Amino acid sequence: MTSPAAPDAASTSLVDPTPPERTPRGLLSRLATPSDSATRVSRLGRIFIAIATLEAVTWAGLLVGMFLKYVTETTDHVVTVFGTAHGGAFLVYGALSIVCAIAFRWRWWVTLLALAAAVPPLVTVPLELWMRRRRLLHREPAAASTTVGTPA
């Protein structure tokens, strides 16, 4: 007589019976921390992601401020604060997009897409996710190669 805990030969297989993690936290953690160093986002890419997120957050704050100012007519201070913050984030994002385009050698249409993404509200976040998937932020920027002592 076999014990109920012992697996029989027919039920064992090479396939892992545990389903893959499908929680949003698991998916986000895989995006945030890649498994091997070859797929890691470069330092400049991480800065681009942070500024793109900041630009989207300030856009959202500006939209809330405009709602409070024009719809509810309660206050205009939120527009002042987030308008200033968004203006600065917009300029930094635009300049950083050009720096990244040069450093990562983006194609011209990717550069235009990155610059145009700052105009409509909250589009910079989906754009940077797309760029991550396409590995446009992954390689280290090209460094000046100086080799000393090699024959010409």
Neighbours of 124 (CB within 10 A): 27
| ∠ CA 45-128-132, rounded to 5° | 65
* CA distances for 71 relative to 54, 66, 74, 96, 126, angstroms: 25, 8, 8, 34, 28
The model's pTM: 0.68
DSSP, residue by residue, 84-139: HHHHHHHHHHHHHHHHHHHHTT--HHHHHHHHHTTSSTT-HHHHHHHHHHTTTT-S
Q: Is the dihedral of CA 62, 68, 73, 79 positive or negative?
A: negative
Place 25 in a pLDDT band, splitting at 50, 70 and 90. Answer: low
The pLDDT tens digits for 42-93 are 999 999 999 999 999 999 999 999 999 999 999 999 999 999 999 999 999 9
